[in-house]
Amino acid sequence: MQNAGIARRVEWLKKSLKRCVLCPRMCRADRIAGKKGFCRLAAGMVISSAIPHHGEEPPLSGSRGAGTIFFSSCNVKCIYCQNYQISHTPTGRPITVEELAGIMLELQALGCHNVEPVTPTPHLPGIMEALGIARERGLRLPFVFNCGGYERAKILRLIDGMVDIYLPDFKYGLDEAGKSFSGVPDYPRHALASLREMVRQVGDVLDMEDGVARRGILVRHLVLPGRTDNSLAALEMIRDVSPFIPLSLMSQYTPTPAVRRHPLLGRRVTRDEYEQVVNAALDLGFEELYTQEVDDRALNPDFDREEPFAWGGTGGRDDA
């Protein structure tokens, strides 16, 4: 039986779609009536794919893969988004709450180490309802909340007790970078408040069992070309919450067609830029770092393929 308090909070989340304030964009769109806000999603959930994913950080992918469910559309929509094929449009396969609960159980049956919805924020009410149903039917895997970091701490408080592992991005430490690249003037403020709430709920470390994560937090930061100033500002904000937070510093940025001619975003990150950010993280006292090689491999997924991550492997992420 689902805890009554949790069931009440899920009901509140479902009703909130009448005037959607699930994320800091605060569109107040009546999604139940079919109106759409910035994410262009009505009330129903839409997914792109659900797969055992071997390209996450080692504690999440383990040996059998993360149970990743790629949701369509996003509440941030960065102009350089590496998943732009699915994040910039709401196209995909519409699914019901019952179907999603079934998908979670299928991922468990496939041997995945966790269930990991990607960009859950605009779909939150349906995902949390499905999670409750799947738990009642035997889902035992950790639930991973893999989000863009542009969250409302108040909404996260409503899912306290349901999330085992938070996997947020912390994209920007500078307001101007968030405005330029994602059209949000207040990313750092919301990302910081959300991070504090996530740490309050699950702690500031990653608890492991048999080599895979069971509970805790892992923060991701994608280093952008020509913007190490933004990266360093982001690292300082994360460190102010706790230097014990495990940090994944990603070098894999690859220009998408939309930004190939952008004066900054039209190239890969250089080794010097990436090392500057990694060294800054070490100087700030971060102890658990996941890093990547800087090389020419194109690591962008292709969601037109049945297997979007055809390059396989671990995405070059290592435990530093």
- List, as one string, the DSSP characters of 196-213: HHHHHHH-SSEEEETTEE
Site stretch for ligand SF4 (CB under 6 A), options 21-29, 136-144, 172-180, 225-233: 21-29
* 182 or 248: CB nearest ligand SF4: 182
Indicate whether 150 belongs to the interface with ligand SF4 (CB under 6 A): no
Contact 289, 281 (CB under 8 A): yes
- The least distance separating ligand SF4 from the CB of residue 308, rounded to whole angstroms, comes to 23
CA angle 116, 256, 122 (to 5 degrees): 35
- Lookup: tokens for 271: 């080794």
Q: From the list 6, 13, 25, 286, which residue makes contact with ligand SF4 (rule: CB under 6 A)?
A: 25
Alpha-carbon gap, residue 68 to 29, rounded angstroms: 28
72 lines the binding site for ligand SF4 (CB under 6 A): no
**Distance separating alpha carbons of residues 118 and 70, to the nearest angstrom:** 5
Extract the tokens encoding 193: 């408040």
Contacts of 155 (CB under 8 A, 6+ apart): 13, 21, 22, 23, 121, 124
CB atoms within 10 A of CB 285: 10
- The interface with ligand SF4 within residues 87-126 (CB under 6 A) comprises 121-122
Does residue 23 interact with ligand SF4 by CB under 6 A?
yes
State which of residues 21, 133, 153, 284 lies at the interface with ligand SF4 (CB under 6 A): 21
Which residue in 54, 78, 57, 79 sits closest to 68, CA to CA?
54
Does 187 bind ligand SF4 (CB under 6 A)? Our answer is no
Under a CB-based contact definition with an 8 Å cutoff, are residues 256 and 78 in contact?
no
Q: Sign of torsion, CA 77 78 80 81?
A: negative
Residue nearest ligand SF4 (C-beta atom): 37
153 interacts with ligand SF4 by CB under 6 A: no
Q: Give whichever of 24 and 65 is closer to ligand SF4, judged by the CB atom.
A: 24
Choose which of 39, 66, 191, 277 interacts with ligand SF4 (CB under 6 A).
39
Contact with ligand SF4 (CB under 6 A): which of 6, 10, 13, 27? Answer: 27
The mark string for 296-315 relative to ligand SF4 (x by CB under 6 A, - otherwise) is --------------------
Compute the least distance from the CB of residue 76 to ligand SF4, in Å: 9
Our CB check for ligand SF4 shows the closer of 23 and 105 to be 23
Chain residues binding ligand SF4 by CB under 6 A are: 20-23, 25-27, 29, 37-39, 75, 121-122
